[in-house]
Structure 1
Amino acid sequence: MSEENSLEFLDWIKTILLALILAFFIKIFLLDATKVEGNSMLNTLHSGDMLFVDKLSKHFKGFDVGDIVIIEAPDQESTLYIKRIVGLPGDTVSISNGNVYINGEIYSEHYINTDETLTTNNNSEWTLNEGEYFVMGDNRLPNASNDSRNFGPISENSIVGHAFLRFYPLYDIGFVDKENR
């Protein structure tokens, strides 16, 4: 191999390594993709949907009610859940007569797939501490979503990022639903 070919080969290796390092940095710290598995977010998201997840903005702007987030499952190691933020730090979230209340006011949710939200255990009211969020799936049919109604509020540290864009299936590309107070 001539010296010129060796230098060209080394340039290719450096370029490939730089691209791999850049891709690794983007995936770990900035942006990731995830696949929806299960029906806990029906009718907003469907099993098989592919989403982009913003991992960076959580460090600057935090989260708001209505954000769809990827969380580390508090009840299953090495598992991620996709849920919607319903309650923020300092809020009192309660469920009564099929309605969700935030700080005593009915929270209107146009995206859920049923008229009622039921509790799945004996607890029907949660007061969130600093750094805690209340999350639920959009599918409120009985036993359809394992969420804060079961495992309680989640820590801000368990939120991986904000799911913001569906890129598959191609016929349904677009920003995912966001509900604000």
Structure 2
Amino acid sequence: MSVAGDKYKTDKGGLGETVKIVVQALVLALVVRTFLFQPFSIPSGSMKDTLLVGDYLFVSKFAYGYSRYSFPFGIDLFEGRVWSAEPKRGDVVVFKLPTDNSTDYIKRVIGLPGDKIQMINGVVNINGKPVQRDRVDDAVTRDQFGGEVHIAQYRETLDNGTSYLTLDLDPDSVLDNTPVYEVPPGHYFMMGDNRDNSQDSRVLNAVGYVPFENIVGRAEIIFFSVEEGNAAWEFWKWPWTVRASRIFTLL
């Protein structure tokens, strides 16, 4: 009787310990996701070639402080941001779409509050000064039939030294020449690196100026990447679908 009773107690204690560990792990994961780093995946090509469809990255939640959108479901605990630090021009950020706060977008910060932004013949102009834009080797991709497609590629360098590559699919697209956008106080102007395939702040009725409160965090590092059309959890396709060269790429 005593042996059986001891076994029952041991089994019951083991189950309790397992439940305790699982709960602790879930709480820890929630804390990390809310206050430190949140994983995101890239579903579209608007940030090519900086970010590709199939990239998985960590976003720093503490980089700019915390707003209601730092928390799951956008719980409205307070107004504005706490422990805030302003984004820098050139940062890659995740934000809640102003026209639909349930949707996450990822773009590059081009305009700061008070800036005047304009596209002239495909060149970004900030406060009347064109951003340095140098032609580099074409980006090479594949069409649906497997043939090579060459896309004009440029290196932009901002006045703070931030440098990155952009794509120009069409040298005369509708968003290559725009009116002047005056960024309101407390807002930011976002653009995708794939300039002719990005719905961003240039489209005022779809994205427009992004309130500081809507910024979720700063993209920091690509921690995993798989070829477009594949899922990260399909481990039986590894390593053939894994883009090993992109893993641990800093942004």
Task: List per-residue Cα deviations over 1:72-111 (Å, max 9, x = no partner).
Answer: 1233452211100001112221222322111221123141
Are residue 129 (structure 1) and residue 184 (structure 2) matched? yes
Are residue 148 (structure 1) and residue 204 (structure 2) matched? no
Out of 158, 164, 167, which is 2:214 matched to?
158
Q: Which residue of 2 aligns with 1:139?
A: 194
The TM-score, its normalising length taken from structure 2, stands at 0.63
Out of 91, 97, 101, which is 1:73 matched to?
97
Q: Which residue of 1 aligns with 2:246?
A: 172
Question: Aligned pair in 2 of structure 1 residues 123, 98: CA closer, same or farther (>3 Å)?
Answer: closer
Are residue 93 (structure 1) and residue 117 (structure 2) matched? yes
What is the SS of the residue equivalent to 1:56? Answer: coil
Task: List per-residue Cα deviations over 1:157-180 (Å, max 9, x = no partner).
Answer: 111111110112232123444xxx
The amino acid of 1:112's aligned partner reads: T
Q: Which region of structure 1 is more displaced relative to structure 2, 68-77 or 87-96? A: 68-77
Report the identity percentage. Answer: 34
Whole-Å Cα distance in 2 between the matches of residues 119 and 136 of structure 1? 15
The amino acid of 2:248's aligned partner reads: G
Structure 2: unaligned runs, 5 residues or longer: 1-6, 66-83, 133-155, 157-163, 226-243
Larger Rg: 2
Whole-Å Cα distance in 2 between the matches of residues 118 and 102 of structure 1? 20
As a proportion of its length, which structure holds more strand? Answer: 2
The amino acid of 1:174's aligned partner reads: F
Kindly state the Cα deviation for residue 63 of structure 1 after the two structures are TM-superposed: 1.0
Bigger relative contact order (CA 8 A; separation at least 6): 1
Q: Which region of structure 1 is more displaced relative to structure 2, 57-66 or 70-79? A: 70-79
Out of 46, 50, 54, which is 1:44 matched to?
50
Do the aligned partners of 2:57 and 2:220 also contact (CA within 8 Å) in 1?
Answer: yes
The TM-score, its normalising length taken from structure 1, stands at 0.84
Question: Aligned pair in 2 of structure 1 residues 88, 150: CA closer, same or farther (>3 Å)?
Answer: same
